[in-house]
Amino acid sequence: MKYYIVAGEASGDLHGSNLMKALKVVDADADIRFWGGDLMQLAGGTLVKHYKERAFMGFVEVIMNLNKIFKDISFCKNDISNFNPDVVVFIDNSGFNLRIAKWVKQQGFRTSYYISPQVWASRASRVTAIKRDIDNMYVILPFVKPFYKKHGYHVTFVGHPLIDAIANREQVDELKFRKTHNLGEKPIIALLPGSRKQEIKKMLSVMLSLVDKYPNNQFVIAGAPSQDYSFYEPFIKSNDVKFIANQTYDLLSISIAALVTSGTATLETALFKVPQVVCYKGSNISYQIAKRIITLEYISLVNLVMDKEVVTELIQKNFNKKRLKQELDNILNPKMRKQLFLDYYELEKALGGKGASEKTAKLIYESVKF
């Protein structure tokens, strides 16, 4: 059968690639055309457009790039029509995907959505469009299913694909890894400043301002696959800071603490059992808009899943050098770390165990076949 998959950003590329591999197991004749990234391309299929070409962050930047976004939407519709798939599979990336989904459904194509838009965080009115345009929704966070149930829409909780991605990775040889990247023997504090340029600009300078306060630790920046080293280089003022690109999981596996920009990375860090401080700072305009439409008590997935403050969140004005140092000191404290580890184990249980990609692939295949 023919599958058209639309994903955006690095996380969508990761989960999309695992879904593609699983689809090829349940459907040996799977013909896949997709919007995604390098990992999806390695999984096999035809790449239409790379997510790097359309990574816009925040309300202001989206408005400034509306012309390009509308061109991409038009191009995507035409490409789907020409491919004539048995099913169109959307992965996260709601701003783009929900617009495409409306048209796709009108054309009579079957639709599946893997990793729900964050309607549970803001603009719950979008559930009406989802119920109209999406035949099958597969959610990866446990609290999302009861949210949709309140709105009269049945969805399937499949577990979180990060559990598989982390469990199936090859274990890193710490001594070899340190030697390869010239890390020395100091305990490592990982810096995850996000994947988009706007995020990195806002986050990294403040994170790096702590370096001279911790001479007994090695700070390492986790470079995002969407950015080249040349973008990070101007921020790095000290020889005590290292940079490692595209090896975030290996880095987290040997880190004792992390400063993490809010997003999927907070969950990844928790699943590696690394104590963390969650950070976020956007433009004032974007923040003021978001503050008025987001209804959640927390911004990190760790706290949302656990429905309590497991990890500290430093947002906007609270994300400053003084507060960041206080919270980093806290997560280096043995007593605090012990409680975090206990909470992290409970978090992993709540996420539903292994097999999310396989479950979703089978359900998508069966929904089309029958």
Residue-wise pLDDT tens digits, 195-232: 888 889 989 999 999 999 999 999 999 998 878 899 99
Q: What percent of the chain has pLDDT over 90?
A: 73
H-state helical runs in the chain: 9-26, 38-43, 58-64, 66-83, 94-106, 126-133, 144-150, 161-167, 174-180, 197-208, 229-232, 248-253, 264-271, 284-293, 301-306, 321-331, 334-350, 356-369
Domains of the chain: residue spans and CATH: 2-159+355-369 (3.40.50.2000), 167-350 (3.40.50.2000)
Most distant pair of Cα atoms in the chain: their distance: 62
Q: How far is residue 7's CA from residue 12's CA, in Å, rounded to a whole number?
A: 5
Q: How far is residue 316's CA from residue 324's CA, in Å, rounded to a whole number?
A: 12
pLDDT digits (tens, 9 = 90+) for 60-108: 455 656 667 789 999 999 999 999 999 999 998 888 999 999 999 999 9
- The 8 Å CB, 24+ separation contacts for 293-299 are 293/122, 293/123, 294/121, 294/122, 295/121, 295/122, 295/124, 296/120, 296/121, 299/262
CA 122 from chain center: how many Å?
A: 17
- Arithmetic mean of pLDDT over the chain: 90
Average pLDDT over residues 348-367: 94
The pLDDT assigned to 10 comes to 81
- For residue 139, pLDDT over 70 is answered with yes
- For residue 136, pLDDT over 60 is answered with yes
Residue 150 CB contacts under 8 Å (≥ 6 apart), including other chains: none
Q: How far is residue 93's CA from residue 11's CA, in Å, rounded to a whole number?
A: 10
pLDDT digits (tens, 9 = 90+) for 143-184: 999 999 999 999 999 999 999 889 888 899 999 999 999 999
3-state secondary structure of 259: strand
Angle at the Cα of 165 from the Cα atoms of 46 and 36, rounded to 5 degrees: 25
Retrieve residue 208's tokens: 């790096």
Q: How far is residue 205's CA from residue 191's CA, in Å, rounded to a whole number?
A: 11
Residue 71 CB contacts under 8 Å (≥ 6 apart), including other chains: none
The pLDDT assigned to 288 comes to 52
The alpha carbon dihedral of 197, 202, 205, 208 has a sign of negative
User: Per-residue confidence at 279, pLDDT binned at 50, 70, 90?
Assistant: very high
Residue 33 CB contacts under 8 Å (≥ 6 apart), including other chains: 2, 3, 4, 5, 45, 46, 48, 79, 83, 85
User: Per-residue confidence at 292, pLDDT binned at 50, 70, 90?
Assistant: very low
Average pLDDT over residues 6-13: 88
Q: Are 331 and 337 in contact (CB under 8 A)?
A: yes
β pairing state of 241-245 and 87-91: unpaired
The pLDDT assigned to 78 comes to 96
The pLDDT assigned to 11 comes to 83
Q: How far is residue 269's CA from residue 281's CA, in Å, rounded to a whole number?
A: 19
